Amino acid sequence: MARSVLERRLDTLDDRMAAAGFGIVTRPAKGLPTLPGNSVGRPVVHRWTCPAAHPCERLSSAELHPQAPACAMTGRPFVYGRARL
């Protein structure tokens, strides 16, 4: 499948930011955000979320894990709060 012009430009931006020492600045799923009021949106749920300064997208259910699971990278317990699916 052919990549869009936007995806190629965002990859170029990531390459240049990484070369300048800033690291990757876009997300893996590249695209334009939807405008407010233009979609049904993504639901917000309460889950255990990553405690890292730059959190990953891992979520854990409080129903399955009553106690906070530990982050494999930092060793710190997950934080309970709002997360968008």
Tell me the pLDDT tens digit for each residue of 2-32.
678 887 888 888 778 777 776 666 666 655 5
* Nearest CA among 21, 32, 1, 26 for reference residue 11: 26
Q: Where are the beta strands (DSSP E) in 1-85?
A: 44-49, 59-60, 79-84
Confidence at 78, pLDDT banded by 50, 70, 90: very high
pTM: 0.47
Return the residue matching tokens 């993504």: 42
Q: Is the pLDDT of residue 77 over 90?
A: yes
- Whether the Cβ atoms of residue 48 and residue 59 lie closer than 8 Å to each other: yes
Residues 63 and 43: their CA atoms lie apart, in Å, by: 18
